DNA sequence: ACACGATTTTGATATAAGTCAAAAAATGCC
DNA sequence: GGCATTTTTTGACTTATATCAAAATCGTGT
């Protein structure tokens, strides 16, 4: 079954017509490790679900990559900036493993919101949930030391540590790889 | 005119019945400098607009107050956690000047979403806009040094600097007051 | 099992920011 | 206008993290 619809159903009811409409606009991609899904400046997709694989989002700061988040299977993701502002994303999204992904484009999503206003309930709840996740991240960056942020990560996404190399995790935590290596010891 | 309705109208259309319903559920408060609007553990209000005055949101970390944001006139605010999860907020909201505020409670808002589903369009857009603001804050905390964060603040909310003391701003930036004082020089 | 490249760790040193204490300046109040 | 309180600045020292360089370890393909 279409995993995007599955995710939507967690937030509210979809009638048959709406379900069909989402189905018709969903695109499936298979991507190899290292490939990009979204590059800075594009605004390809808005909501997507990873069926299999692992992704990271990063942006460039002084020519250096900084990871902003990691995504695992069956989470719903959005490139929020494109969804709302129609501006291109400043984020890049790259696959860290061979991945399967189901996505709906900004334009299609906006069309669905227009034709099926009841989808706004689901959209609202998703956006609110994203807010909470973002707030927690802000709290973490605002108040925690590098050591504490590492401990939070272990607590919240323990399996990431086995799938992602230290450099990526350090950049997510906002510290250098050397410092992270020392923290672990 | 009710400033909450004014704000809502920036995001979408409200028919007469809905407008009246919002009107009936809006509460007006006048609060003196130093008073609290929301204390950790409560979940009083969800959306509110400051008609006049200045507020700060803060939380406690190891017994120390950390400011998470400041709010000025005619911005719309939400205590997101209560809105979505019905869990109490971990934030405290305090007035830094004598203030006038218009608010709608979590329960009333949820009722409105149920009775007037078209309000979900507005709620979605507000939540999405909040997401963008939060993402920018994350970027700032993640990638910028104390000096850069201070410069960003000057650029984005220059008038705050005249209304709020250094200690509060330092805590917002995630640095000590002494460091901020040295940066300014 | 070996060799190659990628990843992680270690070491020495530099820099940014924190801490604590006190002085200086600004603000409010009678 | 002068006193008390709050806010801001300064100084000396400490701690956390960054930087650069090199060594050690791991993983994969042959």
Q: How far lies B83's CA from each of A77, A110, A126, B5, B167, in Å?
A: 21, 24, 12, 18, 30
- The domain segmentation of chain A, as residue ranges, is 3-116
- Any idea which fold A3-116 has? Jelly Rolls (2.60.120)
pLDDT given at position B41: 58
Q: Which residue has the higher pLDDT, B50 or B63?
A: B50
Q: Give the number of other CB atoms < 10 A from CB of residue B174.
A: 16
Helix (H) or strand (E) holding A175: none
Residue A66 near residue A141, CB atoms below 8 Å? no
The pLDDT tens digits for B105-155 are: 888 999 999 999 999 999 999 988 888 888 888 888 888 888 888 988 888
Supply the pLDDT for residue A84. 60
What pLDDT digit, counting tens, does each position of A143-180 carry?
A: 888 888 898 888 888 888 889 999 999 999 989 999 99
B125 touches chain A (CB under 8 A): yes
pLDDT of B159: 85
Q: Which residues of B fall within a CB distance of 8 Å from A120?
A: 117-118, 120-121, 123-124
pLDDT at residue B76 in the model: 82
Whether A169 sits with its Cβ under 7 A from any strand D atom: the answer reads: no
Orientation of helix B146-156 relative to helix B177-184, angle to 10°: 70
pLDDT digits (tens, 9 = 90+) for A68-114: 889 888 888 876 555 566 666 678 888 888 889 999 988 899 999 99
* pLDDT mean across residues, chain A: 86
Q: Which percentage of chain B shows pLDDT scores above 70?
A: 90
Query: Phi and psi of A41, rounded to 5°?
Result: 95, -25
Q: Hey, is the C-beta of B5 within 8 angstroms of any chain A C-beta?
A: no
A-chain CB neighbours of B120 within 8 Å are 117-118, 120-121, 123-124
Nucleotides on chain C that have an atom closer than 7 A to a protein CB are 6-12, 16-21
* Record: contact A131-B80, CB cut-off 8 A: yes
* Helix or strand run (H / E) with residue B4: helix B3-9
Residue carrying the six token digits 């298979």: A30
Which bases of strand D have any atom within 7 Å of the beta carbon of a protein residue? 6-12, 16-21
Distance from CA of B132 to the nearest CA of A (A): 6
* B185: number of Cβ within 10 Å: 4
Report the DSSP beta bridge partners of residue B60. B65
Give the model's pLDDT for residue B116: 97
3-state secondary structure of B12: coil
Q: Where are the beta strands (DSSP E) in B83-143?
A: 92-95, 99-105
Beta-bridged to residue B58, according to DSSP, are: B67, B92
Instruction: State the pLDDT at residue A167.
Output: 93
Q: At residue B22, does pLDDT exceed 90?
A: yes
Q: What's the CA gap between B135 and B122, in Å, rounded?
A: 20
pTM of the predicted model, to two decimals?
0.89
Average pLDDT over residues A28-44: 76
The DSSP line for A143-164 is H--HHHHHHHHHHH-TTHHHHS
The answer to whether some atom of strand D lies closer than 7 Å to the beta carbon of A178 is yes
pLDDT tens per residue across span B73-85 = 888 887 655 556 6
pLDDT of residue B82: 52
Q: Which of B100, B89, B112, B101 is nearest to B25 (CA)?
A: B112
Report the pLDDT value the prediction gives residue A66, as an integer from 0 to 100: 86
């Amino acid at each position: 079954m279409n995993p995007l619809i599955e995710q939507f159903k967690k937030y509210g009811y979809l009638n048959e017509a709406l379900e069909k409409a989402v189905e018709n606009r969903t695109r499936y991609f298979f991507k190899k490790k290292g490939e990009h899904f979204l590059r800075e400046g594009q605004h390809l997709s808005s909501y997507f679900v990873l069926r299999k694989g692992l992704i990271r989002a990063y942006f460039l700061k002084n020519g250096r990559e900084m990871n902003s988040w990691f995504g695992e299977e069956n989470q719903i993701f959005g490139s929020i900036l494109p969804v709302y502002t129609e501006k291109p994303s400043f984020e890049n999204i790259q696959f860290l493993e061979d991945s399967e992904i189901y996505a709906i484009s900004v334009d299609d999503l906006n069309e669905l919101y227009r034709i099926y206003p009841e989808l706004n309930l689901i959209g609202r709840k998703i956006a609110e949930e994203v807010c909470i996740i973002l707030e927690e991240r802000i709290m973490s960056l605002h108040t925690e030391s590098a050591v504490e942020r590492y401990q939070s990560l272990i607590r919240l996404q323990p399996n990431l540590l086995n799938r992602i190399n230290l450099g990526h995790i350090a950049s997510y935590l906002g510290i250098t790889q050397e410092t992270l290596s020392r923290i672990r010891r």
